[in-house]
Chains A and B, each alone.
Chain A
Amino acid sequence: EPEVTQTPSHQVTQMGQEVILRCVPISNHLYFYWYRQILGQKVEFLVSFYNNEISEKSEIFDDQFSVERPDGSNFTLKIRSTKLEDSAMYFCASSESRTGGPTQYFGPGTRLLVL
């Protein structure tokens, strides 16, 4: 069964460093998402992406964050200058369609620790 994959599974970085989290969505899916979950808190929406553009973003997704689909398979989340409070589990998701609340399929997550 097709699945969303994410790399790395864990990343440790120093405050102020740039990190890139990578995701490979399900191959025929066209709509992509990033969510994050700070330890002990809710899963929160960050951004959605379609047709090489951001469709929607939350208040969390400030200028330090960016997303890109650099090729036909990868979808990345970049944090330019990491802060301690960026430590969280980051989930990528994808969906086949973009209307009417499509089913989103989640990857296993990348656990980011900022020291």
Chain B
Amino acid sequence: KQEVTQIPAALSVPEGENLVLNCSFTDSAIYNLQWFRQDPGKGLTSLLLIQSSQREQTSGRLNASLDKSSGRSTLYIAASQPGDSATYLCAVTFTGGGNKLTFGTGTQLKVEL
């Protein structure tokens, strides 16, 4: 079964710290992997999308890496700020699975002053 797992489930860090969120997936046959941000009770904001042929993508303080062969992705957030507090979701489009996204359960991040 094609599944996506995220650890840790929750993370609390002091402001200014660099942090890494982890995502793993069970099948290396993927089209792409996408990281989303979800604020409480709100929708999904796409942060970064990495195609299967890429190793990493960067946007501002965010850097996402992809190691398809090991079934892993990381989201690196530099110099964290209280405004980064949210749930971060990883989602994978597996080949042979149509175009649907398979989501992880997310990592709830709290950045404290």
Contact = CB atoms under 8 A, between A and B. Distances in A.
B60 interface: no
B98 A55 contact: yes
B42 A106 contact: no
B102 A101 contact: no
B87 to A, nearest CB: 11
A101 B104 contact: no
Interface of A: 31, 33, 35, 41-45, 48, 55-56, 58, 89, 91, 95, 98-109, 111
Given A42-B104, A103-B49, A95 B99 contact: yes
Contacts, number: 62
Nearest to B97: A56
Interface in B40-54: 41-46, 49, 51-52
A101 B103 contact: no
Interface of B: 30-32, 34, 36, 41-46, 49, 51-52, 89, 91, 93, 95, 98-106
B93 A111 contact: no
- Dominant SS at the B interface? strand
Given A100-B31, A111-B41, A105 B103 contact: no
B98 A48 contact: yes
> 5 tightest CB-CB pairs across the interface, nearest first?
A101-B31, A101-B93, A108-B43, A56-B98, A45-B100
A111 B30 CA distance: 31
Given A101-B32, A103-B46, A109-B43, A43 B103 contact: yes
Contacts of A43: 44, 89, 91, 101, 103
A99 B98 CA distance: 8
A50 B69 CA distance: 32
B105 to A, nearest CB: 5
Nearest to B6: A42
- Interface-centre pick from A41, A48, A100 (highest chain B CB count, 10 A): A100
Contacts of B99: 31, 33, 48, 55-56, 95, 98-99, 101-102, 104
Given A58-B100, A106-B44, A109-B42, 12 more contacts: A33-B100, A35-B101, A43-B44, A43-B91, A55-B98, A89-B41, A101-B30, A101-B95, A101-B99, A104-B46, A106-B36, A107-B43
